């Protein structure tokens, strides 16, 4: 059985159609990239997978490990192992990063019927993973993402992903706002998480990220659906020729 199956998905926001009969199947252990021009619906797909309520799903279905996720609240989806690395992680004043991580880890464990981790255990795990990502322990005492640079925010997202050990990672424009050094650190973090049990959906506008996170399959997105699917070489072709041809094809 596939880990993720999206069938004929139709999504609107404020009456405007964004996803237009999207079909996508992702097997366990595979990394798929979704590339496409701005406004093609890539981020909408990421948000709909995570369960953001601003969108109306008007048709189709999303099966995660055979279960219909459209009926689940965002926290239930997360506990099932679905993780969205946000393009723009929000700042949460007054909630320290450590408090937030402990709450997230234990909420998921509780929902899965596992024992909650003690504060010292959480602290130990967070410190280990943070060190691998070059995150200053001082950052963990600061409120979530408050005053973090673009690079720090993306590292923090990667840290959350490592700690929560999801089965499906959806990376929404993880490369945006990163310089090349930060991009390498984040990509290394993501690559460490690649495993036969874990799948990834890497959403990006540019081919650059895919030099570091090398996908098994590349999809080209236009006007709310996939218009072409190919190997990783497809990304290089897009980089050379741009999206112009696909915009016409989808029209």
Partner 1 sequence: MKPMSAEIRPMKTAAEQTLARTFASAKDRLPGTGAIEARRASAFHRFEEAGLPHRRVEAWKYTDLRALMREAKPLAPLPDAAALARAKEAGQALAAIGARRIVFVDGSFAPELSDLADLEPGLRIASLAAALAQGVPEIVARLSGTGLADGDQAYGLNTSFMGDGAVIEVDPGHTIARPVHLVFIYAGDQASAVFPRSLVLVGEASHLTLIESHEGPDALDYQINTAIDLSVGDEATLDHLKIAVEGRQALHVSTVTATVGKNAFFRDFALTAGGAVVRNQIFLRCMGAGTNIDLRGASLLSGTQHADTTLVLDHAVAGSKSRELFKSVLDGSSRSVFQGKIIVRPDAQKTDARMMTQALLLSETAEADAKPELEIFADDVQCGHGATTGALDDKLRFYLMARGIPAKEAEALLIEAFVGEVIDGIVHEGAREAVRALMASKLEARGQV
Site of interaction with partner 1 (CB under 8 A) = 50-53, 73-75, 77-79, 83-84, 86, 89-90, 92-95, 99-100, 103-104, 107-108, 111, 143, 160, 164
Instruction: Name the residue nearer to partner 1 (CB basis): 94 or 196.
Output: 94
Min dist CB 91 to partner 1, Å, is 8
Min dist CB 64 to partner 1, Å, is 14
Min dist CB 84 to partner 1, Å, is 6
Instruction: Name the residue nearer to partner 1 (CB basis): 71 or 248.
Output: 71
Instruction: Name the residue nearer to partner 1 (CB basis): 190 or 210.
Output: 190
Give the β-pairing of 4-13 and 16-26: antiparallel
Min dist CB 190 to partner 1, Å, is 17
Specify the DSSP element, H or E, that contains 230. Answer: strand 225-230
Paired strand residues for 56: 12
Instruction: Name the residue nearer to partner 1 (CB basis): 88 or 242.
Output: 88
Min dist CB 141 to partner 1, Å, is 14
Instruction: Name the residue nearer to partner 1 (CB basis): 103 or 131.
Output: 103
Torsion of CA 115, 74, 188, 88, to 10 degrees: -140
Q: Which two tokens stand for residue 164?
A: 């929560």
Distances (CA, A) of 237 to 101, 187, 206, 223: 40, 22, 11, 20
Instruction: Report the C-alpha gap between 28 and 168 in whole angstroms.
Output: 9
Residue among 249, 219, 247, 251 at smallest CA distance from 30: 219
């Amino acid at each position: 059985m596939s880990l993720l199956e999206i069938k004929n998905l139709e999504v609107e926001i404020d009456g405007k159609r964004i996803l237009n009969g999207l079909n996508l199947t992702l097997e366990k252990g595979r990394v798929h990239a979704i590339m496409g021009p701005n406004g093609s619906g890539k981020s909408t797909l990421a948000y709909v997978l995570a369960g953001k309520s601003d969108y109306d799903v008007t048709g189709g279905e999303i099966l995660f490990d055979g279960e219909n996720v459209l009926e689940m609240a965002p926290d239930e989806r997360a506990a099932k192992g679905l993780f969205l690395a946000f393009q723009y992680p929000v700042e949460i004043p007054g909630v320290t990063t450590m408090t937030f991580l402990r709450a997230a880890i234990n909420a998921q464990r509780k929902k899965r019927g596992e024992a909650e981790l003690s504060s010292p255990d959480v602290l130990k795990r967070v410190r280990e993973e943070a060190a691998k990502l070059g995150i200053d322990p001082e950052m963990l005492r600061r409120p979530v993402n408050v005053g973090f640079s673009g690079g720090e925010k993306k590292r923090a997202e990667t840290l959350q992903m490592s700690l929560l050990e999801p089965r499906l990672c959806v990376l929404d424009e993880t490369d945006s706002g990163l310089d090349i050094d930060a991009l390498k650190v984040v990509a290394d973090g993501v690559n460490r998480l690649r495993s036969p049990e874990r799948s990834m959906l890497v959403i990006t506008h540019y081919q650059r990220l895919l030099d570091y996170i090398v996908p098994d399959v590349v999809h080209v997105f236009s006007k709310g659906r996939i218009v072409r699917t190919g190997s990783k070489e497809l990304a290089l072709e897009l980089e050379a020729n741009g999206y112009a041809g696909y915009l016409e094809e989808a029209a």
